[in-house]
């Protein structure tokens, strides 16, 4: 069984966590996910990745709790670091990553979804980081990612209580970018992905890089980064094609050059 199934269709790729019934992130699944992410990092054709979970019950319901009792301090730190590294690799992919979230997205599942660029929530989604109820804390980036995505007080409430919230509240708080009916999740993800994929690939990748790298910089440094990326794009064939297509009132044909 491919525990992280990767299917490519032109500029789109579908990355599915495939460990039913709840797609728990055991060591083997994490390894498979890392291999898939590493493969995507080298792919120059794919522009958008749709990340989802297999089955009806969960996007990813979290880590495999059966692995916890044998963890000591050193092993625990290594496991946390490994998950963080994989999720940060996902976050730093040159492609845009869209997480299509249904069912349970708990613990490592929510941290995985939070590592994507855009999150689409099915109305049946239930999200949370319940690690404190197990005597640990969110270890795959949750304590750092959630306060960057949510109001700090709400992020702390979720982390400190271990409570689960419904999709509607997650969307209202900004944890989701779209909220759709259960049967429309993948259709919406594909719609957004195709809208992105028709744009200049070099421009989309440069824009993602500017946002991600500039996020934690002072504003003046971020603006310099933006200007640098803009200048780089002005040397491309795609820039000329985009401008000419606009002036000629036709659709551009970008080549990624």
Catalytically active residues, by annotation: 111, 131
Q: What ranges in 8-107 are assigned the alpha helix state H?
A: 27-41, 73-91
**25 near 63, Cβ under 8 Å?**
yes
**101 near 127, Cβ under 8 Å?**
yes
Between CA 97 and CA 113 the distance in angstroms is: 10
**186 near 52, Cβ under 8 Å?**
yes
End-to-end CA distance of the chain: 38
Residue 9 exposed, middle or buried by CB count within 10 Å (0-12, 13-18, 19+) = exposed
Interacting residues of 228 by C-beta distance below 8 A, sequence separation 6+: none
């Amino acid at each position: 069984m491919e525990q992280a199934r990767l299917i490519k269709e032109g500029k789109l790729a579908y990355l599915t966590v495939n460990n039913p019934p709840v797609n728990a992130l055991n060591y083997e699944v994490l390894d498979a996910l890392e291999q898939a992410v590493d493969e995507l990092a080298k792919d120059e054709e794919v522009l958008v990745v749709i990340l989802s979970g297999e089955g009806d019950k969960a996007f990813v319901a979290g880590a495999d709790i059966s692995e916890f009792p044998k963890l000591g301090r050193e092993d625990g730190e290594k496991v946390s670091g490994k998950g963080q590294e994989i999720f940060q690799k996902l976050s730093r992919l040159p492609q845009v990553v869209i997480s299509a979230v249904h069912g349970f997205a708990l613990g490592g599942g929510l941290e995985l979804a939070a590592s994507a660029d855009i999150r689409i929530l099915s109305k049946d989604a239930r999200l949370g980081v319940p690690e404190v109820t197990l005597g640990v804390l969110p270890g795959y980036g949750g304590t750092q990612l959630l306060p960057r995505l949510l109001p700090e007080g709400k992020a702390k409430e979720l982390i400190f209580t271990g409570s689960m919230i419904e999709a509607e509240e997650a969307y209202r708080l900004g944890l989701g970018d779209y909220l759709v009916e259960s049967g429309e999740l993948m259709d919406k993800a594909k719609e957004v992905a195709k809208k992105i994929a028709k744009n200049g690939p070099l421009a989309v990748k440069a824009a993602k890089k500017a946002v991600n790298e500039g996020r934690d910089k002072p504003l003046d440094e971020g603006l310099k980064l933006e200007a640098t990326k803009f200048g780089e794009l002005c040397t491309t064939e795609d820039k000329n094609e985009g401008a000419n297509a606009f002036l000629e009132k036709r659709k551009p044909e970008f080549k990624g050059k």
